[in-house]
Chains A and B, each alone.
Chain A
């Protein structure tokens, strides 16, 4: 399955990732960094919007070192009130120097009742 790309600038600072769970739902997440072959995952961050900790983190590597590597996002959205027709909305933004990189905006919206598990992959391309 082809993986969409995020274009990084080798001359800019380390990328950061921000995650927003919209619709006032409860969200949990974790991110992994995989090597270019899709193996050897390293957890970058995990958390929830149900606490006071900011849901933004540094990837921890220079853009050059991320070339060809794969970022995975795994999330779980839950509605506090379970009912048909609930809408979920999740946004992940990969930034460098405060600007969202091309391909660095991941958004998913849909309907669910109580629990929705999410998954997304992006491959870094550094130039």
Chain B
């Protein structure tokens, strides 16, 4: 089957400027009459960021309760809870941990982290997540598992390396301690707890400007993050029937124009790659059917603005490799505006255009405007 891959530049131009010509290929048809591809045009934003917990993302979970063990014993206990006495997988497990810090963190001081070898920081930022989920439907006894790993290869916005922030935190906490009377040994447990809580609140208020200033400094710092999450499925929910069911990978590299006048404070470019093998998704060409496919999304994003207001321009190439060989590749171009309202609540306005193929193989363009409120990574 021949495939026509749009030229990127032409695609960009046509997406915004010539929506009804669409590369002079087969005539376009109104979006409303098309069977759209799987890609949802910027429901807020196309989330290509490496997730904090890749295992949860690979299974499409947003668990309400996540186990974050503070000791190796707790970690082992959490894992053991994932299997019952009969060897059946327990679903609804969500674990998130940083293994190196769990094992050696009590001996890793701030100084070790800041001045030690690169490997110390790399391992300290290494995160592992694990999740299990039940198959959909009451009759479905299957269980899904995912083991995720997240690596921060480098991060010039690492808060622990920000000595201005560290100094500010230390100074303000020192002031709170200095201004507090010592807690006497004969104070009751309740009195002690109350005084400690008061100190925490005082520190929280005092360091808020420190944290806000640090966030402004690092919003566009250069960083490289990667994540991977292999998944397994057990058809009957038992450990004996576990079978590999694909892997999700992410990576993102952001460049913050460090030491480039003006741009270092107001711009960033980022490259994204997201892949998924053996993913079971609704078949865009057949209502009610599902298809197992491999998919790759690559993207480029340019951000300009400030820590609280940003305009972004995004170009994505999505390639779904279907077992039946049908064409399911397309470009997406989006432009958006994000405004931080309060803390980590953002208003997002975006407009996207998608160049794709319909069921008959014709190219078409679909556009959508979205807005939303929410938190962001």
Contact = CB atoms under 8 A, between A and B. Distances in A.
Contact of A26 (B108, B173, B189, B192): B173
Contacts of B102: 87
A107 interface: yes
Interface stretch (B65-73, B287-295, B308-316, B352-360): B65-73
Contacts of A85: 66, 68, 96
B160 A24 contact: yes
A76 interface: yes
Given A22-B105, A76-B199, A76-B203, A28 B177 contact: yes
Interface in B106-150: 106-114, 124
B22 interface: no
A22 B107 contact: yes
Contact of A72 (B169, B170, B182, B203): B182
Given A85-B68, A111-B70, A50 B105 contact: no
A107 B71 CA distance: 13
Interface in A1-36: 1, 3, 20-30, 32, 34
Given A48-B173, A78-B203, A119-B196, A91 B185 contact: no
B166 interface: yes
B199 A23 contact: no
Contacts of A38: 184-186
A70 interface: yes
B70 A87 contact: yes
Contacts of B167: 50
B115 to A, nearest CB: 11
A74 B183 contact: yes
Given A85-B68, A115-B200, A117-B197, A50 B185 contact: no
A48 B204 contact: no
B166 A80 contact: yes
Instruction: Please classify how large the interface on chain B is, using the bins under 10, 10 to 19, 20 to 34, 35 or more.
Output: 35 or more
Interface of B: 66, 68, 70-71, 96, 98, 101-102, 105-114, 124, 159-160, 162, 165-167, 169-170, 173-174, 176-178, 182-186, 188-189, 192, 196-197, 199-200, 203-204, 207, 211, 214
A1 B165 CA distance: 38
A114 interface: yes
Interface string A78-114: 1011101101010100000000000000010111001
Contacts of A1: 188-189
Contact of B160 (A30, A41, A81): A81
A28 B174 contact: yes
21 contacts: A22-B108, A22-B109, A23-B105, A24-B101, A24-B112, A26-B166, A28-B174, A48-B170, A70-B185, A74-B182, A80-B159, A80-B160, A80-B165, A80-B169, A81-B160, A87-B70, A87-B98, A115-B204, A115-B207, A117-B199, A119-B196
B196 A26 contact: no
A49 B169 CA distance: 11
Contacts of B165: 80
B182 A41 contact: yes
Looking at B166, B204, B214, the one whose CB has the most chain A CB atoms below 10 A away is B166
Given A22-B105, A38-B186, A78-B173, 5 more contacts: A24-B101, A51-B170, A85-B66, A87-B98, A115-B173
Contacts of A41: 182, 184
A107 B106 CA distance: 9
A109 B106 contact: yes
A41 B92 CA distance: 51
Given A39-B184, A115-B200, A119-B196, A28 B106 contact: no
A12 B180 CA distance: 34
Nearest to B181: A41
B173 A110 contact: no
B169 A24 contact: no
Contacts of B174: 28, 46, 48
B359 to A, nearest CB: 45
A73 to B, nearest CB: 10
B196 A49 contact: no
Contacts of A29: 177
Contacts of A121: 185
A107 to B, nearest CB: 7
B207 A78 contact: yes
Looking at A50, A82, A116, the one whose CB has the most chain B CB atoms below 10 A away is A50
A50 B177 contact: no
A50 B243 CA distance: 49
Contacts of A23: 101, 105-106, 108
Nearest to A112: B200
Contacts of B184: 34, 38-39, 41
